[in-house]
A and B are shown apart, each in its own frame.
Chain A
Amino acid sequence: GENVEQHPSTLSVQEGDSAVIKCTYSDSASNYFPWYKQELGKRPQLIIDIRSNVGEKKDQRIAVTLNKTAKHFSLHITETQPEDSAVYFCAASKTGNQFYFGTGTSLTVIP
Chain B
Amino acid sequence: KAGVTQTPRYLIKTRGQQVTLSCSPISGHRSVSWYQQTPGQGLQFLFEYFSETQRNKGNFPGRFSGRQFSNSRSEMNVSTLELGDSALYLCASSWDSIAGELFFGEGSRLTVL
A contacts, CB < 8 Å to B: 1, 6, 31-32, 34, 36, 42-46, 49, 89, 91, 93-104
Contact = CB atoms under 8 A, between A and B. Distances in A.
Given A1-B59, A43-B107, A98 B33 contact: yes
A8 to B, nearest CB: 14
A49 B100 CA distance: 9
B40 A103 contact: yes
A98 to B, nearest CB: 4
Interface of B: 4, 31, 33, 35, 40-45, 48, 50, 55-56, 58-59, 90, 92, 94, 97-102, 104-107
14 contacts: A32-B99, A43-B105, A44-B90, A49-B101, A91-B43, A94-B99, A96-B55, A96-B98, A97-B99, A97-B100, A98-B45, A99-B33, A101-B35, A101-B45
B33 A102 contact: no
Given A36-B102, A44-B104, A99-B33, 10 more contacts: A44-B102, A46-B102, A89-B43, A91-B43, A96-B99, A97-B92, A97-B100, A98-B55, A100-B45, A101-B43
Contacts of B44: 101
Contacts of B99: 31-32, 93-97, 99
A43 B101 contact: no
A102 B41 CA distance: 8
A100 B92 CA distance: 14
A94 B55 CA distance: 13
Nearest to B102: A97
A98 B56 contact: yes
A25 to B, nearest CB: 13
A101 B33 contact: no
B55 to A, nearest CB: 5
A91 B42 CA distance: 10
Contacts of A43: 4, 90, 104-107
A89 B104 CA distance: 13
A103 B106 contact: no
